[in-house]
Structure 1
C-alpha cells in the first residue's frame, strides 16, 4: 500500500502541467521550518522520506511551491532552545517538529506561528493543546497519548523474559512527556516488578549510571520515549549489551541498531500524515480547530541476534506477533 501510494505521488509529480510550473515560479514559495532534536545523520531516514512523500501527496513540492529549512539540535537540549528562539524570529509560514522537547522550546518563545507536530507523546498533559478534539492555540498534529504504550512495552518484555524481577527505567526528564515515568512505574508494579530509576544525564555519565543500576540488581531495561535517548541510542544499546540487560524501546530504529525489542507507532506513517496538516494550514486552515490525530499503525520489532547473544529464546507468541524480526 505504501509503495503504491508513493509511486502514485511520483507519477502525479511527473504529470504536473507546465503551466502550473510557470505559475508557481512567479509566486512566493511557502517557507517552512523543520526543527528536530536529532541530527541530519542520526534521524531515521524512513521518517524523513515519509514526510516528503506526504507533502507530495498533498501537492507540496520542495523547490516548486514549498521551501523547507532544516534545523538540527544534535542531541543538545540547549541548542534546541537556541534554535527555537532564533527561527521564530524569521519569516517562516509554519514550523514542523516532533517530540516534546523541541515543541516545548517553540511554545516557550510565545510564537504565534502555526506549529505542526508529527509526534508528541501527550500534548494535553504537556499543556500544548487544550484538548485533542479542539486544540485551540497555534499547534496541532499527531499524538501518542491514550495508547498505554509504556505498559505494553513492559508487558512484552516480561513475556519475552519471564524471569526478570527488577527493571531499570531509563528516562530523560527534560525531553519526555510529563507523567511518563509514573506510568512506567505503575506498569512495572502491575507485573510485580521492582524498579531502578536512572536519569540519563550527560553522555559521559551513561556508563556509571548503567553500572549503578546493575549493582542494584537491574535485570532488564525499559526506556522512555525521548529525543535525547534516541539521539544517543547507539551508545545506550551498547551499554545494555555490555551489562547484559534485555531492553525494550519506543521504535524499531533501536532494534535495527541492536536493541532487543521495541513496540510503538509506525513513526514514518505519522510523519507522512503530518504533511496533511501542513498543506491544510498553508491553504488557510486554523490549527486551533484541527483535531489532533492518534497513530493508527503499531509495530513490534525483535532482534533475534541480540536475543541469542543474551541467551534468550524468544517465545513463539512474540515471534508470531512481530512485524519486524531481525535474524
Structure 2
C-alpha cells in the first residue's frame, strides 16, 4: 500500500513519454498526510486494482488542506483552473468543490447528510455533478454517547468540541443534544473554527466536565495529538468518530471505517473516468462500523472497563 507522503505526492515523469494525455484526478484532501495519508493510500490502491495507475494511465494531483477552510477553498478553485477530469474529496472539501464548479464531476469519500446540506437532490438520484459516500452524523453521535455512558456510568456532564465551519455540524449537534437529554446528562458545546480555538476550548475543561466528545473532522483530526494530550493530563475520558484518535492515545472511537470509504470512492472515480455521470450514480452509505478501545488509555485514566463491554469492541489496543 502507498503510505509515505513523498510517494503519495509524487508525479511520475512518465507522462512526458506518453502520446495520449492521461485523465487527471484532483485529490482535495481535507486533512494532512499524517491524518489522512492512510485513507488516501487506500483510494490509490483500489484505483490501481480497477485499472488506473498513477504515472501510467492516470495522473493524480494532491492538495492537502490541513483542516483550513480558506486553503481548501483555494485548492478547489485551483483544480477548476487546471480543468481536472474529476475531483475527489471529503468533509468541507465537498462544499468547497461544489461551490467552485457545477460541471467537473465530484466524488466525496465521506460526507455528512448530503441531502439535508443541499449537496445532492436525493440519495437515489443525486442530480448535478456530485456523488459518493454519505454518513449520518446525528445517528452516530447518539450511539457514541450511549457507549460513553456504558463506560462511564456516573457521567453527568460532558463537553463536545465541534468545528462550526463544517457544514455537517448542525446534524451532529442536534444528535448530541437529543442523546444528552435522553440520557439525562448536561451537554456543553465548545465551538471552534481554527487550531488556535482548540487551545482556548481545551483550557476550560479541567474540573468542568466528566468526558470529552470530539466531533471528528479534518481540523480536529489534524490536531488530535494536542487534544488528547490535554484531555489525558486532565484525566478526562475521550470519545471520537475516527479510530486514528484512539491509535494516538484517545480512549474510544465509534464510526464508519474510513479506509473502506476511501477505497470505495475509487470505484466511483473509476466509473466516472469510464464515462458515467454523477447525476445517475446513487449515493452509498457505510457498511463497516468499528468500535475501538484503547485499554492503555483506560488504565491511565483509572477506568475499569468490563469484559462484557470489551467483547463488543472490534479492536482493543493494549
> Where does residue 213 of structure 2 map in the other structure?
222
CA distance in 1, matches of 2:84, 2:69: 22
Alignment: residue pair count? 304
Aligned-partner Cα distance in 1 for 2:59–2:87: 12
For the 8 Å contact 2:194–2:219, the answer to whether it is kept is no
Q: What is the alpha-carbon distance in structure 1 between the residues aligned to residue 52 and residue 23 of structure 2? A: 9
The alpha-carbon deviation at position 98 of structure 1 amounts to: 1.1
Gaps of 5+ in 2: 3-13
SS of match in other structure, 1:96: strand
Q: How far apart in 2 are the matches of 1:220 and 1:146? A: 19
Deviation at 1:184, TM superposition (A): 1.0
Aligned to 2:162: 171
Deviation at 1:82, TM superposition (A): 1.3
The yes-or-no answer on 1:269 pairing with 2:260 is: yes
SS of 1:123's partner is coil
Return the alpha-carbon distance in structure 1 between the equivalents of residues 193 and 97 of structure 2.
Answer: 22
> For residue 89 of structure 2, what is the aligned residue in structure 1?
97
The CA distance in 2 between the partners of 1:147 and 1:282, in whole Å, is: 33
1:239-258 alignment runs, 5 A limit: 239-258=230-249
Match of 2:30 among 10, 30, 37: 37
CA displacement, residues 289-324 of structure 1 (integer Å, 9 cap, x when unaligned): 100001111100010010001000112222101112
Structure 1 residue corresponding to 2:79, chosen from 77, 87, 103:
87
Q: Which runs of 5+ in 1 are unaligned?
A: 7-20
- In the alignment, the residues of structure 1 paired with residue 199 and residue 129 of structure 2 have an alpha-carbon distance, to the nearest angstrom, of 41
Cα deviation for residue 151 of structure 1 reads: 0.7
* Residue 152 (1) aligns with residue 143 (2): yes
Aligned partner of residue 203 in structure 2, secondary structure: helix
Q: Which residue is equivalent to 1:287?
A: 278
Cα 1:182–1:63, aligned 2, differ >3 Å: closer, same or farther? same
Contact 1:175 1:228 in 2 (8 A): no
Q: TM-score, normalised by structure 1?
A: 0.88
Deviates more, 1:29-38 or 1:102-111: 102-111
Q: How does 1:198-237 map to 2 (within 5 A)?
A: 198-215=190-207, 217-237=208-228
2:47 corresponds to which residue?
A: 55
Q: Write out per-residue CA displacement over residues 159-195 of structure 1, whole angstroms, 9 at most, x where no aligned residue.
A: 0111111010110011250321111111111111111
Contact 1:32 1:68 in 2 (8 A): yes
Equivalent in the alignment of 1:28: 21
CA distance in 2, matches of 1:45, 1:105: 20
Find the residue that maps to 1:148 and give its secondary structure: helix
Question: Alignment RMSD, CA only?
Answer: 2.0
Q: Does the CA-based 8 Å contact 1:132-1:291 persist in structure 2?
A: yes
* In 2, Cα distance between equivalents of 1:208 and 1:59: 47
Note the C-alpha offset of 1:147: 7.5
In structure 1, what is the Cα distance between the partners aligned to 2:296 and 2:90?
A: 31
CA contact (8 A) 1:196 1:213 kept: no
Distance in 2 (alpha carbons) for counterparts of 1:74 and 1:270: 19
Shift of 1:157: 1.0
Tell me the secondary structure at the aligned position of residue 45 of structure 1: helix
* Structure-to-structure mapping, 1:118-197, within 5 angstroms: 118-145=109-136, 148-177=139-168, 178-197=170-189
Q: Is the 8 A contact 1:75 1:232 kept in 2?
A: no
